[in-house]
Amino acid sequence: MADSTTTRGCLGRLIRSIIPILLVISLTACAVIPEPLTRDELEQQGQKDRKRLFKDIPQLREGEVLTLPRAIARALKYNIKHRVKMMEEALALEQSDLDKFDLLPDLVANAGYHSRSEVRASRQESFTNQASKPGYSYSSEKKNSETDLTISWNILDFGIGYYTAKQNSDRSLIAAERRRKVIHNLIQEVRIAYWRVVAFQTLEAPIRETLELARKELANADTQVQEKLRPVEALHYQKILLENIWELENIRQELSTAHITLASLINTRPGTNIRVAVPEEGNLVPPQWDTSLPDMERLAFRNNPDIREKAYDLRIAIRETHKAILRTLPGIELSGSHQYDSNNFLKANDWIGLSTKLTWNLFNIFSAPERIEYAETAERVAEMKDLAKKMAVLTQVHVAEYQFRDALRQFQLADKFSKLSREITDLVKKRMRAPQSIRDFVYEKTSEITSQLRRYQSYAKLEAAYGQLRATLGLDIMPEAMESDDLQEVTVAVGEALAAARKNGGVVKHALVEEGTTSADGPPTESAYFKSAIGMHAEIVKISLELTRLPENRNGGDSVNWHRWNGYGISTALSN
């Protein structure tokens, strides 16, 4: 046996060698102190960031007139918030791709080299207290190398990894739905900002000219007050002029930042002189919408991004319950390996090994009821969140429809009021000679500018309500062309989508046709009628349908041959 004195000596040398290492590590840890960024570093970083904000992003050309489709296309291509959501979606997709590798078996390669100053010699002692054999023996060399290649597959880990991969796949779909929501909100913000710029561009010159005239008349009124020529009338005149000047300044202040907001949305430099395409007077055509509320509810429940996100959350919760159940099962691990050892004392230096191992964490069995109950509770919470979101979306559909109708009425009133104010101003301008006429002109011109502002504001609200209606229903403006690198191609696609959407036929009708509830021409389809009536596919039973609009004075229930369906009378007859 080894001498105890020798053992204590070796232990002491080991402790003496470890203590300096521990001291060095401790001093290194104490040397780590916070290092705030210096002013020069912050300045350099700020310069780099300002350049990165607009790097590789084409700016507006001098004199370029920005149309609404172009503005939306630029926002979809270059808006930073949207690009962040695109990167988050790409990251989620990459995670989903990585999860596929977790389903593969583990393939591990090992290589090692061992060297000793002395051989690993040992002597043997008899367990039965018989005489021991004298001398030492060894069965390994001083130096040897080892390699092995092992493949192993745990069935339990595979099952859990499978559900985890499916969950991460759903999370990538959630990222896509969140991106859709950002796109809807972004388009709505661009609409509002664009029409504010239109209002500013249209009213800028009239506001400036009217302010100059009002200030000139205010100076004349000051002269009359100082000369005490009819002071009461002069002061009253001053009051009216100041009220008009105050009103015009408020309008200019309200609209002065519109181009900065639009520049931020389309990711161009703030302060850029943005010129937009202004429609001719009277050419503000309101969007049309005649989809029924039941159809809107159906589309919202199918396409709304929030509802889809909650549906994926529910699916993730269900799979978490499956994982909790799987963890209670034993794990079976299958493995195979090819190994090599350079030790010359071995008869075979390389060999193949196979093994099967069963592992079962018994504590998982004891904690299984609580874990499964927790997962099922989380599943029920996800179900209630899903129902709550559907109720919220259902409310949003009705609110959005009401807001659109209300905004349409407000715009129609503002449009009529603007035309009336313009006609009055034209009449006053024709007889503008005396100071009284100038005062009336300033007053009426201010009223006209205010009415024009209200007209553009009401139209912007109408466009926002229309965009909110489409966003609530989850109607994408152009899902295919958005990935194109060509800005002009995206602009054309946006323009076509906006034109189709304003007819209220385009996207809504296409969505309903995809659902099978209406035909491309509008009336209910044969398939839709019989699917709702008997749950069969209409092509299975050959029945001819004759679509007839019921007269107003005829009751659709006076004969068994007539059935009312969405305001249509459908006469059915079996064919030969």
User: Which string of DSSP letters, residue by residue, matches 152-197?
Assistant: EEEHHHHHHHHHHHHHHHHHHHHHHHHHHHHHHHHHHHHHHHHHHH
Confidence of residue 555 (pLDDT cuts 50, 70, 90): very low
Cβ neighbour number for residue 508 with a 10 Å cutoff: 22
DSSP string of 297-327, one letter each residue: HHHHHHH-HHHHHHHHHHHHHHHHHHHHHHT
Same domain, 298 and 403: yes
> Is the pLDDT assigned to residue 36 strictly greater than 60?
yes
Look at strands 143-154 and 331-341 and give their pairing: antiparallel
pTM more than 0.75: no
Q: Mind listing the pLDDT tens digit for each residue in 70-120? A: 999 888 888 888 878 778 878 877 777 777 777 888 888 988 888 887 787
> Is the pLDDT assigned to residue 529 strictly greater than 60?
no
Same domain, 420 and 300: yes
Same domain, 490 and 427: yes
Evaluate whether residue 210 is within a structural domain.
yes
Same domain, 302 and 224: yes
Same domain, 299 and 409: yes
Evaluate whether residue 531 is within a structural domain.
yes
Query: Which amino acid is residue 71, in one-letter code?
Result: A
Same domain, 215 and 291: yes
* Least confident range of 59-73, 123-137, 269-283, 302-316: 123-137
Read off the pLDDT of each residue in 202-214 and give the average, rounded to a whole number. Answer: 86
Evaluate whether residue 50 is within a structural domain.
no
pLDDT, position 504: 56
Evaluate whether residue 224 is within a structural domain.
yes
Last residue of one domain, picked from the residues 460, 477, 502: 502
Same domain, 495 and 521: no
Same domain, 525 and 474: no
Closest CA to 97 of 35, 165, 159: 165
Same domain, 431 and 481: yes
Evaluate whether residue 171 is within a structural domain.
no
| Percent of the chain's residues with pLDDT above 90 | 10
Q: Mind listing the pLDDT tens digit for each residue in 337-366? A: 998 988 888 888 888 989 998 888 888 788
Look at strands 65-66 and 275-276 and give their pairing: parallel
> Is the pLDDT assigned to residue 281 strictly greater than 80?
no
Evaluate whether residue 293 is within a structural domain.
yes
* Least confident range of 17-21, 57-61, 393-397, 547-551: 547-551
Residue 551 per-residue DSSP state: P
Same domain, 302 and 396: yes
Read off the pLDDT of each residue in 360-388 and give the average, rounded to a whole number. Answer: 87
Read off the pLDDT of each residue in 26-32 and give the average, rounded to a whole number. Answer: 62
Evaluate whether residue 257 is within a structural domain.
yes
Separation between Cα atoms, residue 552 and residue 532, nearest integer Å: 25
Same domain, 439 and 492: yes
Separation between Cα atoms, residue 336 and residue 356, nearest integer Å: 9
Evaluate whether residue 37 is within a structural domain.
no
* Least confident range of 23-27, 108-112, 325-329: 23-27
Q: How many domains does the chain have?
A: 2
pLDDT, position 1: 46
Tally the C-alpha atoms within 13 A of residue 542's C-alpha that lie toward its C-beta. Answer: 2
Domain housing 553 = 517-574
pLDDT, position 106: 84
> Is the pLDDT assigned to residue 205 strictly greater than 60?
yes
Same domain, 531 and 434: no
Last residue of one domain, picked from the residues 455, 475, 502: 502
Mean pLDDT taken over the chain: 78
Read off the pLDDT of each residue in 247-272 and give the average, rounded to a whole number. Answer: 86
